[in-house]
Chains A and B, each alone.
Chain A
Amino acid sequence: MPTKIEVRALKKSFTSDKGVLPVVEDVSLTVQDGEFVAIVGPSGCGKSTLMNMIAGFIQPDAGSVSIDGAARNRPDSRGILISQQGSVFPWLTVRENLMFGLNGHAIADKREIAEHYADIVGLKGFEDSYPHELSGGMLKRTELARALVVKPEILYMDEPFSALDALMSLRMRNELLRILAKERHTTLLITHDVEEAISLADRVVVLTPRPTRIQAIFEVPMPHPRRLVSPQAQELRLTILSELGLEREGL
């Protein structure tokens, strides 16, 4: 598989009145085309900052990000970011949201594409609803569909399901797997949920506390659909948790 994302020696610190706060300290990472990489780390470790640099929203102090071998400095529609708070436009209907990113298509084509993806994520019949009329889960589906519509090569997901209740979060996980099996995007997922990382990712990257660097990387050599209760998955979970500083005996 060719290399999709090449992250080289990224560094970032923020300056405030309290002084300079180093947040990301020398992170290098290579993601293959079509690969699903999950990044886990303690809260406040700089996961989101790292993701924002990779997606092009924040410029690093040092280091570089290249996509398909070309340097990336700013965000574009080849890689769509889905964040925890969500950014579905509340003043547009579901359909208008889905059509938002489609430039240079005829209006009839836009409608057709939007309808297709609304169908894929299970929003059929809600195309004319406004976001405030939808549940949290449906809002996430809208956000996901809006991203898929532009056929991005990369999905950047920053704790996408952590604002949902546990049941809906599980359901969205399965939906995501189902969709990715069809469309095969390269995916970068930030999460604090080790189980979520194991159930979705091909590789799990564990970050250190701030200023963050990569502490360990684990392969998840299990075919989908994965059974999280399998001994192999449980063993991996415990290993990752202990990397995150939790004592094995206490789990």
Chain B
Amino acid sequence: MLIAALIAAWWIAVIATRSVIFPTPLGVVTGTLELLKDGILWRHIGASLMRVGAGFGLAVCVAVPLGLWMGWVAGAYRALNPIFQILRPISPIAWIPIAILWFGVGDASPIYLIFISSVFPMVVQTTVGVHTIEKRYLRAAENFGVSRRTLFRQVVIPAVLPQIIVGMRIGLGVAWLVVVAAEMIALHSGLGYMIMDSRNAGNRYDLVIAGMIIIGLIGLSLDATMRVLEGTKWARWRYAH
């Protein structure tokens, strides 16, 4: 309902102001269809998702073991946590010059930016997860004298998993924000590029807005996917009380 009202207000506003540049909703729809027809849209979506997949995947592979280690070994936490606390508030955008310097203007730069922006929240969440495991469970494991392997596989990792999933949800959200920004710089594919290109190549604001809406919808479905993960049996015990 609200969405319909917003679209109507947008439509009326465009007509009322007689804007020649800002498109009507109908213009956006026809623009989107145009992009769909020649397959350009799918190519851009695919490029963006591929970069997010690579950068985020890499970040998960690094953040989870690192977070577990930092959570478990007090010395590792003391050594690494200050570094992370300094690096974490740096906007991914500020990394762009360095990314270009190190990785050039190919796919590696945005993947690096996605990695750097999503790895920190996941490390932090995982570490917090280890630190907040209730002592009584660790004591029980100690009491039964199980091997280190069993301790990690049956106690530490399942206990932290809900927190890891929360971290992944945050990380993926950030990754999706960053990919668009990264693609606006010196790239030739992806939704971010598509938006900049549509503006530069003749003020096609219908395509700019189409791109924005698509970004929003994909972001929403990525988040929904992570929420499905929160509902699986590995995480459900935490919310079942």
Cβ B139 vs Cβ A96 within 8 A: no
> In whole angstroms, what is the CA distance A101 to B137 when docked?
13
Given A91-B234, A132-B240, A132-B241: A85 in contact with B146 (beta carbons within 8 A):
no
> In whole angstroms, what is the CA distance A81 to B142 when docked?
11
Q: Which A residues are CB-close (under 8 A) to B240?
A: 90, 130, 132
Q: Which A residues are CB-close (under 8 A) to B158?
A: 89, 91-92
14 CB-based A-B contacts, threshold 8 Å: A55-B143, A57-B143, A75-B142, A75-B145, A80-B144, A87-B140, A89-B140, A89-B158, A90-B240, A100-B144, A100-B150, A103-B145, A130-B240, A131-B237
Given A89-B154, A91-B237, A132-B237: A100 in contact with B139 (beta carbons within 8 A):
no
Cβ A81 vs Cβ B137 within 8 A: no
> In whole angstroms, what is the CA distance A101 to B144 when docked?
5
In chain A, positions 5-63 with a C-beta closer than 8 Å to chain B are 55, 57
Q: Residues of B at under 8 Å CB distance from A? A: 136-137, 139-147, 150, 154-155, 158-159, 161, 233-234, 237-238, 240-241
Tell me the minimal C-beta distance from B52 to chain A in angstroms: 29
Q: Which A residues are CB-close (under 8 A) to B233?
A: 130
Cβ B234 vs Cβ A87 within 8 A: no
Tell me the minimal C-beta distance from A13 to chain B in angstroms: 21
Interface residue? A232 (CB, 8 A): no
> In whole angstroms, what is the CA distance A196 to B233 when docked?
38
Q: Which B residues are CB-close (under 8 A) to A130?
A: 233, 237, 240
Interface residue? A234 (CB, 8 A): no
Cβ B143 vs Cβ A80 within 8 A: yes
Interface SS of chain A: helix, strand, loop or mixed?
Answer: loop
> In whole angstroms, what is the CA distance A169 to B95 when docked?
61
> In whole angstroms, what is the CA distance A55 to B139 when docked?
11
Given A131-B237, A132-B240, A132-B241: A96 in contact with B143 (beta carbons within 8 A):
no
Q: Which A residues are CB-close (under 8 A) to B147?
A: 103
In chain A, positions 123-162 with a C-beta closer than 8 Å to chain B are 130-132, 150
Q: Which B residues are CB-close (under 8 A) to A57?
A: 139, 142-143
Residue in chain B with minimal CB distance to A99: B154
* Among B141, B144, B154, B155: residue with most chain A CB under 10 A: B144
> In whole angstroms, what is the CA distance A87 to B237 when docked?
14
Given A90-B237, A91-B159, A131-B237: A77 in contact with B144 (beta carbons within 8 A):
yes
Cβ A89 vs Cβ B144 within 8 A: no
Q: Please classify how large the interface on chain A is, using the bins under 10, 10 to 19, 20 to 34, 35 or more.
A: 20 to 34
* Among B139, B147, B233, B234: residue with most chain A CB under 10 A: B139
Interface residue? A83 (CB, 8 A): yes
* Among A77, A91, A150: residue with most chain B CB under 10 A: A91
Tell me the minimal C-beta distance from B20 to chain A in angstroms: 60
Given A89-B155, A90-B237, A132-B240: A101 in contact with B139 (beta carbons within 8 A):
no
Known contacts A75-B143, A92-B158, A132-B241, then 18 further A-B pairs from the complex at CB < 8 Å, ordered by chain A residue: A75-B142, A76-B143, A81-B139, A81-B140, A81-B143, A83-B136, A89-B155, A89-B158, A89-B159, A90-B238, A91-B161, A91-B237, A92-B154, A100-B141, A100-B150, A101-B145, A132-B237, A150-B144
Tell me the minimal C-beta distance from A225 to chain B in angstroms: 31
Pick from A75, A79, A87: contact of B136, CB under 8 Å = A87
Tell me the minimal C-beta distance from A48 to chain B in angstroms: 12
In chain A, positions 94-133 with a C-beta closer than 8 Å to chain B are 96, 100-101, 103, 130-132
Q: Which B residues are CB-close (under 8 A) to A85?
A: 136
Tell me the minimal C-beta distance from A28 to chain B in angstroms: 24
> In whole angstroms, what is the CA distance A132 to B136 when docked?
17
> In whole angstroms, what is the CA distance A79 to B140 when docked?
11
Tell me the minimal C-beta distance from A145 to chain B in angstroms: 13
> In whole angstroms, what is the CA distance A76 to B234 when docked?
28
* Among B140, B237, B241: residue with most chain A CB under 10 A: B140
Q: Which B residues are CB-close (under 8 A) to A75?
A: 139, 142-143, 145
